[in-house]
Structures are given as structure tokens and as C-alpha cells.
Amino acid sequence: KSHRHLLSHIAANTYISIMAINYRRPPEHPWPTPVDDALLAYERLLERASAHHIVLAGDSAGGGLCLTLMLRLKERGLPLPNAAVLLSPWVDLTDVGKHPSWTENADIDYLTVGLAGLAARAYAGEHDRSHPEISPVHGDLTGLPPLHVERGQCEMLRDQQKELCERAEAAGVMVDCYEAPYMVHAFPLFSFAADRDAAPQFEPLLALD
């Protein structure tokens, strides 16, 4: 329900079919359960569509989950999607207050170090947070499909998202990175609050233009 407006906006502007996954979440279901659920959903989707016609998309932890899913698909020799759209992806759970963006944007972004720490502990449980399925930025990114990564200039996770783009490019992945000025974490989710008469127009669908 939290993403209903954004998903309907995407569908209305692209005429694509969307499969939204209600995967099990922490703290009741820590890693690897969310990845297991995403893999199961992807396998079911492959029964209905070619991987060439599939684009993964997710924001925040969902963006990290998309990246992790592709790493697992590659490991198992399963078909990779045609591309992935990662909106403010959380891809490094070892980075809680580590990068400069945590202090530079502390008075702007709604995501706090304390909240991120709680979420990281809930997701990883007793496992090492540097595990590539928990912090996929540390995984082997070679061979992944093209990535479109959007981040907000004023979000706490900005620097780890920059690192993702750099690591992916170094691994030979086609990467399109966009930093939205003055925006906070997962800003496309708040498109319902945009002023349609404002200039420039708020555009959460840059990847699909």
C-alpha cells in the first residue's frame, strides 16, 4: 500500500505491467528470507515472461534487494533481467554513520543513524553485515545488466550509492547514475506531494523516459 501511488504512476506513464512483491520482512523475517521470497517471485515471473522483458525496480531496502537478487541469479546461472532501476538503494549495511553524507545531511534527511542501525540489525540478525547478500555493494557485480541508480543530494545514503555506481562501472556494468538536487532518501515515493504547477516538474520516472 505504501507504494501504490508510485506504482500506478509508473504504470500509467509507461503502459507496462507491474508485479509488486509483498515479501516477508524483518524483524520477524531477517535475511535470507526476503531474498528467498524475491527469488521465488522471479522464478514464477519467468514462467510467464522472458527475462529480456523483465526490469527489476526497488527503492531503499527494496533497491538493495533487487541488487542482491541479481547476484543470486548470477550465482545460480539463472537468466538475469534486462535492467534494474534502483531508487535510493540501501546497498551497504556496514555503512551506518561511516560516510560523510551521514553528517552532511543529518539535519535534512528523515533517515537517522539510529533508525538505520536498528534496521540493519533487524535485517542482518547475527550474520556478518559485510556478506554480499546483506550488503550487495561488496558482491561481484561483473556481468550484471544495465543499472539506473537515482539518489537524492540530501540523503544520508548518498555516498554508498555513489560507491555502488563506481564499483559497478569498474566491473564493466553499464550504469546511469542521477543525483536529484535537494532531494532526500527515497524521494520518488513522495511524488503524491509534488506541486504539478511547479517548475521544474518533479519527475520520479527519469529511468523510463
Determine the pLDDT at residue 196: 52
Partners of 147 in the beta sheet?
84, 175
Determine the pLDDT at residue 15: 83
Helix, strand, coil: what percent of the chain each, to 5? 40, 10, 50
Q: What span, in angstroms and rounded, lies between the C-alpha atoms of 110 and 12?
A: 29
E strands present in 63-102:
83-87
Which tens digits make up the pLDDT trace of 105-149? 999 999 999 999 999 999 999 999 999 999 999 999 999 999 999
Q: Tell me the whole-structure pTM to 2 decimals.
A: 0.91
By percentage, how much of the chain surpasses pLDDT 90? 81
Active site (catalytic) residues = 60, 155, 185
**Nearest Cα to Cα of residue 167 among 67, 59, 85:** 67
Determine the pLDDT at residue 192: 62
Q: What span, in angstroms and rounded, lies between the C-alpha atoms of 49 and 43?
A: 10
Checking if the pLDDT of 203 tops 90, the result is: no
Q: What span, in angstroms and rounded, lies between the C-alpha atoms of 30 and 1?
A: 21
Which tens digits make up the pLDDT trace of 153-198? 999 999 999 999 999 999 999 999 999 999 999 998 887 665 554 3
